[in-house]
Structure 1
Amino acid sequence: MARHRQSEGSGPSQRQLRVGELIRRTLSSVLAKGEVHDPELNAMSITVGEVRTSPDLKIATVYVMPLGGAGRDEAIQALKRNRGELRRALMRDMTLKYAPDLRFVIDETFDRMDETRALFDRAEVRRDIEGGDPETEA
């Protein structure tokens, strides 16, 4: 049976998506329950928005956001400090051959949504969306 290689322009495989979602749920649960032995990390409320895995599932990029968006750098540092314990929690709760290397980054999705809302609130954009004719309005 031939294996198909993922071309550079294609998106993640179903397996990557499934494993990424399992990792997201597991990390969310571990962080919500305060199962990490770090009082600073347990004091933070961190949302795990998305997890993207490499094709070989050995690297997982975890997109996170602290509640309210404040303390982003502190949250990333606390997560990086506890990377090993979080990997062990993943292996305890999941049945993967390898524990993926966790890389934590801030989830910029919320910022982009705010920028998009602000863009749609601009008068010239509203006019274009609503189908106004600029020559008749001028």
Structure 2
Amino acid sequence: MESKRQQKFAGVIQEDLAAIFQREGMNYLPNTLVTITKVRVTPDLAIARIFLSFLGNPNVQTALHTIKSHASEIRYKLGARIKDQVRIIPQLEFFIDDTSEYVERMDKIFDKISKEERQPDTE
């Protein structure tokens, strides 16, 4: 379980990264909306795991690779924004947030189950 400190720091990172992607995201991925869905920070605040969602880009693996290739530049821009609030700027690790795909898959399974005929209970 994350501490309050980790949660607060993750919120700061999420807000500032969202602003960075909103302003300069087109430089990395044209015609793609990058959404930061979740940020998890290690207890020592040295590593931030950022979960991203991409809208308007059919190939999310390529989009993730592009973001990862610009990670040092993104970290530098994040550092410029939060330098007065923290001692160290965390390393950024980017991941694809597949929560929506998981939800869709589960919905299909539940729909399939609900459409099957129910067997009467015989005891």
Flag whether TM exceeds 0.5 (same fold): yes
Q: Deviations over 1:67-91 (max 9, x none)?
A: 0562212211111121112112222
TM-score normalised by length of structure 1 = 0.75
Partner Cα separation in structure 2 for residue 90 and residue 72 of structure 1: 23
1:41 Cα shift? 2.9
TM-score normalised by length of structure 2 = 0.83
Cross-structure match for 2:99: 109
Structure 1 segments (4+ residues) deviating >4 Å = 124-127
8 A Cα contact 2:28 2:67, kept in partner: no
Cross-structure match for 1:118: 108
Cross-structure match for 2:58: 70
Q: Match for 2:69: what amino acid?
A: R
Cross-structure match for 1:92: 80
8 A Cα contact 1:120 1:126, kept in partner: no
8 A Cα contact 1:119 1:125, kept in partner: no
Out of 27, 34, 42, the position equivalent to 1:39 is 27
Cross-structure match for 1:82: 70
2:107 is the counterpart of 1:135: no
Bigger relative contact order, structure 1 or 2, given CA contacts below 8 A and separation 6+? 2
How many residue pairs match? The answer is 120
Partner Cα separation in structure 2 for residue 108 and residue 52 of structure 1: 15
**In angstroms, what is the RMSD of aligned CA positions?**
2.5
In the superposition, relative to structure 1, how do residues 57 and 42 fare at CA in structure 2: closer, same or farther (>3 Å)? farther
Q: Deviations over 1:16-55 (max 9, x none)?
A: 1111121111111101111x6x834354321111010111
Q: Percent identity?
A: 24
Unaligned runs of 5+ in 2: none
**Aligned partner of residue 97 in structure 1, secondary structure:** coil
